[in-house]
Structure 1
Amino acid sequence: MTQPFGYFVHHQGRGHAERCAAIANALPVTRPLTIFCARDDIFPALPAHVDIVRIPSLFEPVGDEAGTMDDIATPATLHCAPLGWPGIRHAMATIAGWFDTANPALMICDVSAEIAQLARICSVPHVKIVQHGDRGDQGHRAAYDGAAGLLAAFHAGLAQPEWDAAMLAKTCFAGGLGVDTRVPERELARQRIGVGADEEMILVLSGGGGDGFGQAPLGVGARARPDARWISIGPVQRDWHATEPSNIEHRGWIDNPADYVAAADLVIASTGNTTCQQILAAARPWLAIPEWRYFDEQHRKAGALAAAGVACVRPHLPSSADAWKAALAETIATHRPDAQRAMIDDTPADDVAAWLEGLAAKLWTSAPTIISSPDLTGA
């Protein structure tokens, strides 16, 4: 029987589950896949040869788990490893038990430094998902250095400058992985969302990984460009002091974000991975505003986008009418649609599946290395 792949999926946001589903659907039907995740309701359609095993969250305490041993320092090689949490023990035992019985060819980790290191300790080769951010700490380095391969769900042109040759050599880059990057026709998209053909539309897009932008600065922006129609989708933080003009409306969660991106003349959005791929594929002028994330993930991604010339970046939403006017003008003046489209690969999921299959074949068909047992007798 073909050795299975394992796949740990972080349950925050949507990008982790979406790229897992894309890979699952691109893998050969002869390759069994077992997914470990704290939720089983966040995945797009999965093929029949895929199983989902629910495990407790590694990041959220249950019952009396929290705070009992917080005085014990966390070693630098770990990120989230609190003591005394039965949920973590159960999750790790479930995965380790599967390692023992399934004899997997690979374990894909998206994302947890602890799960990656568990695979290595259990003698299972792992593929670590690489994300942007300041991740030179010992925990990330242990996960990266011990990996058989690294997978980046973005174009190689967005690599961070400090990633060295050794790291890049074992990284598979896949721009657009896990995102439907088909772009609707602009006029049809406008008809579907109720925007006139001649209206200037500014889209404010907030993804599922955070709380959205503040209402007050968006109101300042709408007042600074009163002839444009401003529409926000996703969450918006309500501000009691916000005074919004009539040219902005908040539509909340919608089922067709691609229509809104395709219809927009300009997009204001954070730099979450799904959001990035959608905007780059649609090649729209983009004012990128990074949100707070661990390890400054979105800020470092914003820096990579700016360096590649595919987005205009501000550290936060402009705070005055003049600042809004300057930011919007720069976004339009520096727009490079061809450079944006070049960030999206034609068949990223198929490319990744082929790379994973090739990596597994290389690992498991190589001549084994014989290591002498250590002398434990003391003689």
Structure 2
Amino acid sequence: MRDLAPPAAPFGYFVHHQGRGHAERCAELVNALPPERPVRIFCAREDIFPPLRPGVEVTRIPSLFEPAGEEAPGAALLPTPETVHCAPVGWATIRAAMGEMAGFFAAEDPALMIVDVSAEVAQLARLCSVPHVKVLQHGDRGDPGHRAAYDGAAGLLAPFHADLDQPDWAPWASRIFHAPGLGLHAALPERAGARARLGLGQEPLAVVVSGKGGSGCAEAPLGVAARSFPQMRWITIGEVQRDWHATVPPNLRHAGWVANAPDYFAAADLLVTSAGNTTCAQALCAARPWIVVPEWRYFDEQVEKARALDRAGAALHLPHLPGSAHGWRRAVAAAQSRHDPARQRALAGGARAARDAAAWLEHLSARLWSGLSGAAPISRKEQTNA
């Protein structure tokens, strides 16, 4: 009788709990792994995940950056070394979270630890002799902490098109796998139906979008924009910072948080957005003239993402919303004149992202632990055609 194959070693997966993008990316990826591959997810929230397949377990851990109120005040004044980003001293919650993951490493001998995202967790895996895959994000990440996480990684997973890479990533090029569109279900509805559901007529529409990770865009410059284009309807979705001095014309409406954001993207003739991952994915799929204005994020993540989109010919990057009518007219004219819908759709990625990324992880695991060459890794050409 043939011996049964040994069970597959688990993959670990750390998920940052701010927003839902990390969790949605994780869910799509682990659901695409072979059913016999167990996965243990570590996250400070359990309610942000879409449905997960059998064999995937979520372990809730304390937050690595939210204090519980019992921290040692004196230890908080210790200087932070350049090798870490968020590693305050005297936090029992951090000890508990890191201890939970270290216990998993010791007890279950994982084949890989996928980290989305934390330089400290990536370094923890490496120090515990567990190979890790680091999710790559845009930003100014040349500091020792990020470099340690990237330099020590078995692989780097980029959930975007290769043409959106930053020039300073060249040293890691051979380890980067691109999965454009991973976890970002941005298929948009048909334009006419979307406009009908929103109660729009034939007038042109500008949609302004801010993400969930910050405080939103200021109201005053949007009033200037709407007054500069009175023939165009302007609608904002997401958070807007109200300004006491803002004058809001009747063609500007704040819709707030909406459940049908794809309808707004599909209905738009012009997009003005922040540079969050989900927002950018929907904007690329919408393939409209696009102005991208980064919001503040750690390590200038959105700044570098906006610059990459501009370099790739997908959007017009502005460092801030225009402060005058003539500034708005210049910006809108530039976005319209350089608009390339085919280029935008090419960068958006496709439905194969999760399947290809899962196959890459399995191949990487086999190569690390068995020395098996197996099938060749998915090529960059195949990724581009996904």
Q: Same fold (TM over 0.5)?
A: yes
Q: Give the ranges of 4+ consecutive aligned residues of structure 1 lying more than 2 Å apart after TM superposition.
A: none
Matched, 1:240 2:244: yes
Report Cα offsets for 1:148-192 as digits up to 9, x if no partner.
Answer: 00011110000001211x401100111111111212110011112
Counterpart of 2:193 in structure 1 is 188
State how far apart, in whole Å, the 2-side matches of 1:15 and 1:66 are: 32
Amino acid at match of 1:356: L
- Cα distance, 1:209 vs structure 2: 1.1
Counterpart of 1:269 in structure 2 is 273
- Cα distance, 1:269 vs structure 2: 0.2
Report Cα offsets for 1:265-292 as digits up to 9, x if no partner.
Answer: 0110011111111111121111000111
Counterpart of 1:169 in structure 2 is 174
Query: Is the contact made by 1:14 and 1:209 (CA closer than 8 Å) also made in structure 2?
Result: no
Amino acid at match of 2:166: Q
1:198-237 equivalences under 5 Å are: 198-237=202-241
State how far apart, in whole Å, the 1-side matches of 2:290 and 2:72 are: 41
Instruction: State the SS of the aligned residue for 1:70.
Output: helix
Counterpart of 1:249 in structure 2 is 253
Match of 1:311 among 312, 315, 326: 315
Counterpart of 1:372 in structure 2 is none
State how far apart, in whole Å, the 2-side matches of 1:321 and 1:361 are: 58
Match of 2:356 among 351, 360, 373: 351
Taking structure 2 as the reference length, the TM-score comes to: 0.93
- Cα distance, 1:48 vs structure 2: 2.1
- Cα distance, 1:249 vs structure 2: 0.8
Counterpart of 1:106 in structure 2 is 112
Instruction: State the SS of the aligned residue for 1:251.
Output: strand
Instruction: State the SS of the aligned residue for 1:262.
Output: helix
State how far apart, in whole Å, the 2-side matches of 1:76 and 1:355 are: 32
> Please, which runs of 5 or more residues in structure 1 have no aligned partner?
368-379
State how far apart, in whole Å, the 1-side matches of 2:178 and 2:148 are: 20
Taking structure 1 as the reference length, the TM-score comes to: 0.94
Instruction: State the SS of the aligned residue for 2:63.
Output: coil
1:1-379 equivalences under 5 Å are: 1-65=7-71, 67-164=73-170, 166-196=171-201, 198-346=202-350, 347-366=352-371
Query: Is the contact made by 2:207 and 2:270 (CA closer than 8 Å) also made in structure 1?
Result: yes
State how far apart, in whole Å, the 1-side matches of 2:245 and 2:73 are: 37
> Please, which runs of 5 or more residues in structure 2 have no aligned partner?
1-6, 373-386
State how far apart, in whole Å, the 2-side matches of 1:219 and 1:69 are: 47
- Cα distance, 1:105 vs structure 2: 0.8
Query: Is the contact made by 1:261 and 1:279 (CA closer than 8 Å) also made in structure 2?
Result: yes
Query: Is the contact made by 1:174 and 1:348 (CA closer than 8 Å) also made in structure 2?
Result: yes
Amino acid at match of 1:277: A
Report Cα offsets for 1:35-55 as digits up to 9, x if no partner.
Answer: 111111111222222111111
Aligned-residue Cα RMSD (Å) equals 1.1
- Cα distance, 1:208 vs structure 2: 1.3
- Cα distance, 1:64 vs structure 2: 2.2
Query: Is the contact made by 1:14 and 1:208 (CA closer than 8 Å) also made in structure 2?
Result: no
State how far apart, in whole Å, the 2-side matches of 1:189 and 1:46 are: 30
